[in-house]
Each structure stands twice: as C-alpha cells, then as structure tokens.
Structure 1
Amino acid sequence: MPKEPKAKAAKPQKKIPALDMPKRPGTSWNMFFREHMERVKASGKPVVPTVEGVVAAQMWKNLSPEEKQVYQDRYKTNFEEFKQQTKDRLQEMTPAEYKQENQRRQALRDAGKKGLPALKDPNAPKRPLSNFFLFAKDLRESGKYSHLSLKEQSRAFADAWSTLPEAEKTKYTEKNRTAMEAYKIQKATYDAQT
C-alpha cells in the first residue's frame, strides 16, 4: 500500500522585534510595592516575593488617603511624562518603522493577542474630503445651522446637497479632484519611504 505524503508543517513566522518605545510607568500600587521590596532587601532579610506581596498589600490598605495620594500624584506625573515621550517618539518614527510595528502588531493579533490597535502615522498624508463633506464643511462654517443638533445638521446638509444645482456641485467636484491629485502625489512619496 503506497504511503500518503506528509503534510508540511506550517513554517513558523519570523518574530518581528518591537520598536524602542517609552515604558509605561507602574501604578501607584506598583511604586509602593517596589519601595517596600527595596526596604526589605536593604534590611538583609531573605526576600520571599509572595510573602512580601501579602505584607505590602496589608500595609497599602492601612495607608491613609493622604499617604496614598502622594503615590497617586507621582503616578499622574510619570504618566503625563510617558504620554509626552510616546507622542514625541511617534512623531520621529519613519514610515518604515510604522510599517514594521504594524506588521508586528498584526502578527500578535493573529496569534490571539487582544488590545493592540494599528498605529497611525501622524505624518502620513490625509485623504481629502469628498464632494459632499466639502459642501457640509462650508455650511458648518457659515454658522447658518449652528442652532441645530449634530443629527439635525446632518439631515439639513443632506437635504441641501440634494437640492443643490449641478453647477454648484461641479464646484465641489473640482475642489475634490484637485485635492485628490495632490493627495496621490503625497501618498506616493510617503509610500516610497517604506
């Protein structure tokens, strides 16, 4: 009896290295626990993390709100610094780095990791508004519909667009066409960088 050919094993995907990004700061509890562990190590006692975790948790519960507030304020300060450093890092990243990081995140999502959205490059060219949205932008800036809710404004813009003469619609079509040509050039330049 002839042997059946073996199915080839799936080739493991090459792991894409993570980019060098700022590290998210620990929470107020994490800061307290690290300080507690440093005090225990400095005292010379043998360190058993599970035991020290219970001790530190009890100490944390017994802290007054004012004492906890000190840690929470430090966390807020650290977190604001982290956000600014992350923003600065995202601004200086190249299109190739964005592409690499998004490929890495996609591979992790495919493997079941959740909560990893794709990064958007703030320096990437923005797609221009469509004819209708250019028209709606003009209407919104005129202030004529500012007394309406957003939902009512949307309906009013749609009604105004449907009754707009073709000559006026052509004006917005031309604006869109010009903006789209410029966008395509910018997009091609941007894509060439990756």
Structure 2
Amino acid sequence: MLSRALLPLTRVALNRSAFVVRAFGASALINKTAVKAAATSGKKPTPAKAKKAVKPKRTAAAAKPKRAVVKPKRVAVKKIRKADIHEKTLNSKKAIVELPKQAPAAYSLFVRDRWKKVQPREGGENQLAVFASVSREAGRAWRALSESDKQQYHKQREALLAQHVQDVRKWWAGVDRKQVALENQRRRRHNRNVALNKVKGSRLPLLRDPLAPKRPLSAYMMFASEHLAGKSGDSIKDTSRALGAEWKTMSDAAKAPYVSKAAVEADLYKAASQKYASSI
C-alpha cells in the first residue's frame, strides 16, 4: 500500500530531474554554437563579466571627523559721519588756515639785535632770566636811542611790511575760500564761547582779505559819519539815535546828495572788485 502511495511522488521527481538535464544540455549546446560562431568569424568570445565586489559602507565610527571651520569674528566698524567731523573741526583749538605772520615792529627788531649779541650758556629758567634782563636793558637803550639811530629799524620794518603785503596777496590767491569760511565759523564759535565764559581766552579776529576793495558806505552811513565826526563816548549813542530819527523824517531832496554819492561809490566798488578778482 505504501509503495503505491509513493509512486506518484517518484514520478514527479524523475520528471523534474529530466527537465534540469535537458536545460543544462540546451545551455551547453548554446555555448558550443557561440564558440563555433566566434571561431568562424575570427573574434574572441566575450567572457561573462564578473560582478564587482561591493565595498562595505563606512560606519559613523569609522568615518574621519570633519574639521570645524572657525569663522573670523566681525569687527564692528564705527561709521564716522560728516556732521561729526564738521563739529570736531569747529570745536578744535587748532586753526584750519593761518595768515602769514605780521612784520615785527621797529622796537622788536632792535631787541632781536640785542639778543643776538648775548649768548647765554645756561638753559631753561636761567635762559629766561637772561632774556628778561636783556629785554629790560633793551627798553632803556631804546628810549635813549636817537631818532636817526632808530631810523634804520623803521626802514627794516617798512621793507618787511612790503614783503608781508606780497605774502598776504600770494596767500589769499592760493587759499581755498571754503577753508577760510570754515575757519571764520570756528572763530565765531570760539568768540561766542568766550562771551558765555565757556572757554578761557581772548576773542579771535575774523579773517578778511585786506587787499580786497572795501565795501562803500550807504547813504545813511555817509550822513551819520558827517554828524558823528569828532564825537566819542556816550555822546555817540545819543547822537546816533537822534540822527536815525532825523533821517526817517528827511525829504528825498535832502537825502539826494547822499544817495547820489553812495551810488557813485557802489559803481567804483563794483569795478574795483572785478579788477581784484581778475588779479588773484
């Protein structure tokens, strides 16, 4: 009974083995035909490509550690505004532009000559003491000096003044007028701070071109200058107030001489200004 039951299973196994043998024989036959075809054509048969070995992936522990990139710190650059530079310039004690130095007086030239003859060996406070004594002696000698002997120093001063005029003309011809205006603004601020006792020191004069033509007087100023001639002190204030009231009540006919004279002076000033502007 058992043999009859196993008989179908053995038949199935035999059929499968036969199929495998047939398949193997067919593949072998195909390979043989491919070899023969290659031999007849002269080409070498291409062998089957071998599969590449797959490299194992690196784990997180085996991977090389990455270098940390350190970025440089940004330095905060403070922006300087033009307004801050302008304010710093106006509050500075240093002059923006300076005129050529004035020519020394005749007495200063005399003291300079006396000082050149003295050669103090000591320095510091002793030198200052020697200079003070020389200055006192020079003062007495200057007062005792005759006018003919003083004349040589006056001539030296006149020559230096003429040279100073040329230096001033050259300076004003080459200077930047914007810098001059900025220096005058700085001096006005300094003078205002001195008046308010915010800064110690003396008032600074404004820079004005001494060689430029002077502005003419107005008609009223010509009228007032005639009536104020020879007066001083408090009388000038009282007279000025009275002249101002009188000028307002004057007729056009009474003002005509001063108006016409002021017009002539204005024309002359305009022509002189144009000539001076072309010379610099």
TM-score class, shorter: 0.5 to 0.7
2:222 is the counterpart of 1:134: yes
Question: After the TM superposition, which residues 92-107 of structure 1 pair with which residues of structure 2 at under 5 Å, given as runs?
Answer: 92-93=166-167, 95-99=169-173, 100=175
User: Quick check: 1:22–1:82 contact (8 Å CA) kept in 2?
Assistant: no
* TM-aligned CA deviation for residue 118 of structure 1: 5.2
Partner of 2:117: 35
The alignment's C-alpha RMSD in Å is 5.2
Question: After the TM superposition, which residues 50-65 of structure 1 pair with which residues of structure 2 at under 5 Å, given as runs?
Answer: 50=124, 53=127, 56=130, 60=133
Identity %: 19
Question: After the TM superposition, which residues 48-127 of structure 1 pair with which residues of structure 2 at under 5 Å, given as runs?
Answer: 48-50=122-124, 53=127, 56=130, 60=133, 69-70=140-141, 77=150, 80=154, 83-93=157-167, 95-99=169-173, 100=175, 117=205, 120-127=208-215
The one-letter code of the counterpart of 1:129 is L
Aligned partners of 2:245, 2:203: CA distance in 1, in Å?
Answer: 40
Aligned partners of 2:224, 2:125: CA distance in 1, in Å?
Answer: 63
* TM-aligned CA deviation for residue 165 of structure 1: 0.9
Aligned partners of 1:138, 1:186: CA distance in 2, in Å?
Answer: 25
Q: Residues 23, 6 of structure 1: CA spacing in aligned structure 2 closer, same or farther, 3 A cutoff?
A: same
Aligned partners of 1:8, 1:133: CA distance in 2, in Å?
Answer: 48
Aligned partners of 1:122, 1:183: CA distance in 2, in Å?
Answer: 15
Aligned partners of 1:193, 1:23: CA distance in 2, in Å?
Answer: 28
Task: Normalising by structure 1, report the TM-score.
Answer: 0.53
3-state DSSP of counterpart to 1:49:
coil
The one-letter code of the counterpart of 1:89 is Q
Partner of 1:157: 243
Aligned partners of 2:139, 2:101: CA distance in 1, in Å?
Answer: 32
Aligned partners of 2:164, 2:125: CA distance in 1, in Å?
Answer: 41
3-state DSSP of counterpart to 1:125:
coil
Partner of 2:253: 167
The one-letter code of the counterpart of 1:180 is A
2:268 is the counterpart of 1:185: no
Q: Residues 149, 85 of structure 1: CA spacing in aligned structure 2 closer, same or farther, 3 A cutoff?
A: farther
Residues 100-148 of structure 1 show CA distances to partners (whole Å, capped at 9, x for unaligned) of: 39968x76x969998874565554212111110122244457x9x9xx9
Q: Residues 174, 2 of structure 1: CA spacing in aligned structure 2 closer, same or farther, 3 A cutoff?
A: farther
Residues 25-53 of structure 1 show CA distances to partners (whole Å, capped at 9, x for unaligned) of: 4785x76665342xx6xxxxxx4424852
User: Quick check: 1:32–1:71 contact (8 Å CA) kept in 2?
Assistant: no
Aligned partners of 2:223, 2:125: CA distance in 1, in Å?
Answer: 66
Aligned partners of 1:2, 1:91: CA distance in 2, in Å?
Answer: 56
Task: Normalising by structure 2, report the TM-score.
Answer: 0.41
Aligned partners of 1:177, 1:67: CA distance in 2, in Å?
Answer: 53
The one-letter code of the counterpart of 2:267 is E
Larger Rg: 2
Aligned partners of 1:51, 1:172: CA distance in 2, in Å?
Answer: 62
* TM-aligned CA deviation for residue 69 of structure 1: 1.3
The one-letter code of the counterpart of 2:249 is T
Residues 57-104 of structure 1 show CA distances to partners (whole Å, capped at 9, x for unaligned) of: 79x39xxx8786126667x94875564344323444564433539968
Aligned partners of 1:186, 1:33: CA distance in 2, in Å?
Answer: 45
Aligned partners of 1:51, 1:135: CA distance in 2, in Å?
Answer: 58
> Aligned pairs, how many?
172
User: Quick check: 1:31–1:71 contact (8 Å CA) kept in 2?
Assistant: no
Partner of 1:43: none
Structure 2: state its 5+ residue gaps: 1-72, 86-95, 191-200
